[in-house]
Structures are given as structure tokens and as C-alpha cells.
Amino acid sequence: MPNAASPYASVKLSAALVQQAREAAQPQRRSVAGQIEYWATLGRIADETGLTVQEAREAIALYDARQRGDALDESLDAIEARFVDAATTGRLAQAVRSTVNANRQKADATLPRAA
């Protein structure tokens, strides 16, 4: 039985995925676990919001820079401006609605039908 006090859990992953994470982590100075968490975060953001992986990656970079107190360079400001523009014009809300509707349809398709 897992220790309820521990914030960590063990999972089995394919050796190929772990090797890919190891190779991707090294230039980014992340641990293998950190790289897999990063990929999971990107995937979750893309899945939940309808953002592309690149947009999710840019959003994470902006968030991380602000958390560290780094000076933002122009590219991060440009990314933020695109998000503000998308929110202002309703494109971001529409992308989220489309993703939610698609996920609902997928969920409905997997539910057993009542007789």
C-alpha cells in the first residue's frame, strides 16, 4: 500500500520513453522525471485548452520566466500579446469550447447505452 504522506508515486514506463526523456532532458538541464512531467504538462494543456503544443510550450516558458523573476524578452511579450488578442477576440474561448465539446462527444461515445 502506498504511503499517503509521500507526494510521489511510482509508475512503469517503457525503456524507450525513458531513454527519449533522458536525451531530451540533458540539454534542458532537467531530470528524466522533470522532462516527463514537462511533457505531461504540455499534453494536458494542449488537451484541455485546444492550444497547440507550441502555444502551450510558449505559455509555460512565460509562466516559468515570471516565477523566476526573469526579465521578459520581446518574444515572451509577443506571446502574451497573442494570448490577450485571442482572449479579446473570442478565439481562445472558441478553441476551449471546441475542445470541451469534442471531449464530451468522445466521452459520450464510450458510455454504455441504456437499454
pLDDT digit string (tens) for the chain, length 115 residues: 555 678 888 999 999 999 999 999 998 888 999 999 988 888 887 788 887 778 877 877 777 777 677 655 556 677 777 777 777 787 777 877 888 788 788 777 777 766 5
Domain presence at residue 6: no
Q: Decide: pTM greater than 0.85.
A: no
Q: How far is CA 87 from the centre of its chain?
A: 19
Domain presence at residue 72: yes
Domain count, the chain: 1
**3-state secondary structure (DSSP) of residue 24:** helix
* Range(s) of the domain holding residue 55: 15-110
Distance CA 68, CA 12 (A): 32
Kindly report, residue by residue over 88-114, the tens digit of the pLDDT.
787 777 877 888 788 788 777 777 766
Domain presence at residue 43: yes
